[in-house]
Amino acid sequence: MMHMQRFEKIMRGIQGALIVASTLQIVIGFSGLWRNVTRFLSPLSAVPLVALSGFGLYELGFPVLARCIEIGLPQLIALVIFSQYIPHIIRSEKHVFDRFAVIFSVVLVWIYAHLLTVGGAYKHTGTKTQASCRTDRAGIIGAAPWIRVPYPFQWGAPTFDAGEAFAMMAASFVALVESTGGFIAVSRYASATPMPPTILSRGVGWQGVGILFSGIFGTGTGSSVSVENAGLLALTRVGSRRVVQISAGFMIFFSILGKFGAVFASIPPPIIAALYCLFFAYVGAAGLSFLQFCNLNSFKTKFVLGFSIFMGLSIPQYFNEYRVVNGYGPVHTGARWFNDMINVPFSSEAFVAGLLALFLDITLHRKDNTTRKDRGMIWWEKFRSFKTDTRSEEFYSLPFNLNKFFPSV
């Protein structure tokens, strides 16, 4: 009983913090403040931001896969074969294997993992191995209800604490920056023209609305751009909004029917980690693809790229290692909310790299044609507009020229 009361108290605190933090993205997004920031982005500054939005999540890839190598490695190999080699060998006009590579490979390896579980392969293994390898761990399917409709404030009235709210707002701002990289990657793989700052800012505002609903319904986590779905878009080459809408409907369906959702939740983590190895790689590659619009012979370009990417990996590594060794971050004062406001942002690879790249790109460039070419702005700035959505003017008038802007799609 005491554990349940403590759990509900924590959940109510998280609810309150999420509700307050949602106002940050709602205000920044719908007011147009984020539009004023992102209009300074160039292909040069977008490379570190987008690249580390994917590559920065490397810890969720092979390290998790290797916790059960006999399941994770076959999943990775099967996914590569279904998505890359079979379509290359067959060369059919019907894109079956590359479109459904995830479903085919996951079902195949999932059955294999279940046979290992039923056959008793993990009966005498350690607790960590069983948690990573078994498909029936923790009785998740048996404990799940058949039908459970989530409702607002299911854990009780939310509680509000200034310290928790500030800490959550810091995390929300980091998610905002990382989501910007995800937005850019999605537009790249969807064969769309670069998103105007106005549209990007509006997306951030709606993301804030999602965080607000997360706080109201007590999900425990906020909403952010799904980097793995951006990679899935690249893997399947399906960029239809209708597909996303139908997928959202399925997710709502499975969230209500608990047994069905529990079946998918029983997939061993190494199988999911194997998917991440491709999804996050695709997102990172989307960032690198913007290099084609930059002048890589310029030493200034090389400095901005090299320094921001290196520090984007190095600084978070320092913060994370410090926390592991000492149990707290490098910033350790009596105010926990202040500690979180500093330690959380600088533990994010995409945030550090994007912030550094944008600052260096803005402060080091000159307003001349040579610098604009080096930064790739001649290609990008035609899509920047404060008054209208330039896609209505550019996109529909240039369907035959999309290969000019997106030669790799």
Residue 14 Cα to chain centre, angstroms: 21
The residues, ordered by sequence, that sit 6+ positions from 171 with a Cβ below 8 Å of its Cβ are 21, 222, 340, 344
What are the CA-CA distances from residue 242 to residues 239, 247, 392 (Å)?
Answer: 9, 9, 20
- 277-305 burial by CB neighbour count: b if 16+ within 10 A, else e? bbbbbbbbbbbebbbebbbeebebbeebb
- 3-state secondary structure at position 112: helix
Q: Cα-atom radius of gyration of the chain, to the nearest Å?
A: 23
* Straight-line distance from the first to the last Cα atom of the chain, in angstroms, rounded to the nearest whole number: 56
Taking the C-alpha atoms of residue 365 and residue 278, their distance in angstroms, rounded to an integer, is 35
Contact 267, 110 (CB under 8 A): yes
How far apart are the C-alpha atoms of 398 and 389, rounded to whole Å?
15
Write down how long the chain is: 409
CA-based nearest residue to 309, from 46, 34, 61:
46
Distance CA 218, CA 156 (A): 9
Rounded Cα–Cα distance for residues 297 and 243 (Å): 41
Number of domains in the chain: 1
pTM as predicted: 0.86
What is the phi-psi region of residue 158: left when phi exceeds 0, alpha when psi lies from -120 to 50, beta otherwise?
Answer: beta
Residue by residue, pLDDT tens for the chain (409 residues) are 677 788 888 899 999 999 999 999 999 999 989 998 988 899 999 999 999 999 999 999 999 999 999 999 999 999 999 999 998 888 777 778 888 999 999 999 999 998 998 888 888 888 888 888 888 765 667 777 888 888 888 888 899 988 889 889 999 999 999 999 999 999 888 877 778 888 889 999 999 999 999 999 988 888 888 898 899 999 988 878 888 889 888 888 877 887 777 777 778 999 999 999 999 999 999 999 999 989 999 999 999 999 999 999 999 999 999 999 998 889 988 888 889 889 999 999 999 999 999 999 998 876 777 777 888 888 777 666 545 544 444 444 444 344 444 444 3
Distance, CA of 184 to CA of 186 (rounded, Å): 5
Domain span including residue 256: 2-405
Question: What are the start-end ranges of the H helices in 190-330?
Answer: 197-217, 227-236, 241-256, 258-265, 269-288, 299-326
The residue to which tokens 């550094």 are assigned: 356
Residue 139 zone, left/alpha/beta (φ > 0; ψ -120 to 50; rest): left
